[in-house]
Amino acid sequence: MTVAMPRFAAIEPEALVECATPAEVAEALAYAERSGLEVAVRSGGHCFAGRSSSTGVVIDVTPMHGVALDGDVATVGAGTRLGALYDALEPSTIPAGCGPTVGIAGLALGGGLGILGRAHGLTCDALLGAQVVLAGGRVVECDAEREPELFWALRGAGNGSLGVVTRLRLRTLPAPEISAFELHRPREEAVELIETWQRWAPDAPDGVAVSLLLDDAGVHLIGTATEPCELPWEAELRPASFRDTKRRLAERTGPEIDTWSRSEFFARPLERDTLEALIENLEGELDFTPWGGAYNRVAPDATAFVHRDARFLLKHTATTPGGWLDRSWKLVHPYGTGGVYPNFPDPGLADPDGAYFGANRDRVARARAAYDPEGVFQPLP
């Protein structure tokens, strides 16, 4: 299956075009234009909102997969999945997510969070340049010098709305020594644990990434560290292999998922009474991801990715849409930054561009107008 979520895999395109070269992408775009069909771009097929599925023309870049390493710079085909990329880069790596079947293109173009992010930033912060097929078929190389405005917009707003990325250049780093821990506690302890987590995790040393999950089974603290650190809980960090740790974290979601989620960034801790209400009403999963560190050391206008002042990201996940999911999201929304991670697109947002791009929204809109004046590519919902 090329699409991770079964409900989007069921959407049948008029034409699914598997492109092996930028010229084939240009041909597929021309075919869509001639036929008056909508275009969707697909790499790993993991979009939460199904933006890489369409009843028109799906341009799938999977055949353009492969990795070439030159010093600390990796040239990566846009069809490469994370698992294959990590294999090819060893003993180097990049800051990115865990799911081995997630596409590097979709992930990097919307940001890219992962266990090395607090120390090394987003995947898009490691992006040095990209090759893009624009609407109309022109193939351009962009980086800090060439088409700098396209390069700026791709880093956070590149998900299917500016052009078809066919190749990425990413700065790599040596895969670090890592230690890991897991702590599972009963739900009754959730308020105390979240209060401690909110104060500690966003300010922990940069090499430390501790997520807090809450579900039916209780509270789960799952963390990794690439530097020594004292945990505020009775838990021990144990040396682990970097790749095994990433594999184990990926197993928590699995490759095929049919869930619905909503999320938001937060710049200050949630109050105790809000936490109590959140936990009392829980009918799904809550996932607190720490922010801060290198994520926030990039200026909000340096790239299209604007969320550089948050302390954490809170994702609510359910097995059905609406209902609890909306109630839980609305309960904490008054305390959020209003910002939403572009890689967790949410069709329920009242003002999507404001949520994804904040103060960068006008510049993102200008980049779209310049590079896709006819609106061939669709913005995130």
Ligand X SMILES: Cc1cc2nc3c(=O)[nH]c(=O)nc-3n(C[C@H](O)[C@H](O)[C@H](O)COP(=O)(O)OP(=O)(O)OC[C@H]3O[C@@H](n4cnc5c(N)ncnc54)[C@H](O)[C@@H]3O)c2cc1C
Phi, psi (rounded to 5 degrees) for 143: -165, -160
Neighbour count for residue 204 (Cβ, 10 Å): 22
Instruction: Check residue 9 and report its DSSP letter.
Output: H
Residue from the set 26, 28, 29, 51 that interacts with ligand X by CB under 6 A = 51
Whether residue 260 contacts residue 316, with contact meaning beta carbons closer than 8 Å, is answered with: no
Contact segment (CB under 6 A) with ligand X among 38-46, 219-227, 299-307, 310-318 equals 38-46
Decide if residue 94 touches ligand X (CB under 6 A): no
Decide if residue 109 touches ligand X (CB under 6 A): yes
Residue from the set 13, 19, 28, 43 that interacts with ligand X by CB under 6 A = 43
Cα–Cα distance measured from residue 163 to residue 263, given in angstroms and rounded to the nearest whole number: 26
Cα–Cα distance measured from residue 324 to residue 299, given in angstroms and rounded to the nearest whole number: 35
> Least separation, in Å, of the C-beta of 363 and ligand X?
18
> Least separation, in Å, of the C-beta of 164 and ligand X?
5
Decide if residue 41 touches ligand X (CB under 6 A): yes
Distances (CA, A) of 55 to 45, 51, 295: 15, 11, 37
Give 29 or 194: the residue with its C-beta nearer to ligand X. Answer: 29
Displacement of CA 250 from its chain's centroid (Å): 14
Decide if residue 57 touches ligand X (CB under 6 A): no
> Least separation, in Å, of the C-beta of 92 and ligand X?
19
Contact segment (CB under 6 A) with ligand X among 42-50, 145-153, 306-314, 320-328 equals 42-50
Decide if residue 105 touches ligand X (CB under 6 A): yes
Task: Specify the 3-state DSSP secondary structure of 45.
Answer: coil
Give 42 or 311: the residue with its C-beta nearer to ligand X. Answer: 42
Place of tokens 């997510």: 97
Cα–Cα distance measured from residue 201 to residue 268, given in angstroms and rounded to the nearest whole number: 12
**Residues 125-164, mask of contacts with ligand X (x by CB under 6 A):** ---------------------------------xxx---x
Give 185 or 248: the residue with its C-beta nearer to ligand X. Answer: 248
Place of tokens 């240009």: 26
Decide if residue 45 touches ligand X (CB under 6 A): yes
Residue from the set 74, 107, 208, 304 that interacts with ligand X by CB under 6 A = 107
Residue from the set 22, 110, 284, 358 that interacts with ligand X by CB under 6 A = 110
Give 110 or 223: the residue with its C-beta nearer to ligand X. Answer: 110
Contacts of 111 (CB under 8 A, 6+ apart): 122, 123, 124, 156, 305, 307, 341, 342, 343
DSSP letters, 309-346, are S-SEEEEEEESSSSHHHHHHHHHHGGGS-S---TTS--
Contact segment (CB under 6 A) with ligand X among 29-37, 44-52, 176-184, 188-196 equals 44-52
Cα–Cα distance measured from residue 191 to residue 251, given in angstroms and rounded to the nearest whole number: 26
Give 57 or 105: the residue with its C-beta nearer to ligand X. Answer: 105
> Least separation, in Å, of the C-beta of 98 and ligand X?
5
The footprint of ligand X (CB under 6 A) covers 4, 40-48, 51-52, 61, 78, 97-99, 102-103, 105-107, 109-114, 158-160, 164-165, 253, 257, 343
